Amino acid sequence: MPFPITKTDAEWQALLADKCAEPGAFQVTRHAATERPFTGKYEAHWADGSYHCICCGNTLFDAAAKFNAHCGWPSFSQAVPGAITEITDRSHGMTRVETVCSQCGAHLGHVFDDGPTATGLRYCMNSASLNFTPT
């Protein structure tokens, strides 16, 4: 699937290194790896602000949409409209919905329809794919 922002693996690695991204950010964002639960820096982060794609800076979530899903990853009830593309993921012997950045295709996590909020959605994101900007 083509995205507006494209780079080679070497360019993504250099960009993430320049941003002092978390270890594993390249594997998470560019190769759909998953960080271990309860290890990401934003899992228990509750400040006001917004969450952006670590690769391209696209605004993905407002902190007001974050909630504690007790799943070990930062969880949100809704994304910024148009910020995320959803892709059917049939890996690991199951069907899930993968979420990627609509601008650069960075793997963010998965969305589930079992959230406790009004939207009924639970966007479980990898901290390594996010960058936070306080308000």
Scored b (16 or more CB within 10 A) or e, 31-59 reads ebeebeeeebebbeeeeeebbbbbbbebe
Scored b (16 or more CB within 10 A) or e, 5-19 reads eeeeeeebeebbeee
- Structure letter (DSSP) for residue 76: E
Active-site pick, 55, 101, 104, 124: 124
Nearest CA to 76 out of 67, 85, 84 is that of: 67
User: Catalytic annotation on 124?
Assistant: yes
H or E element: which one contains 101?
A: strand 96-101
Tokens of 31: 């190769």
Catalytic residue list: 124
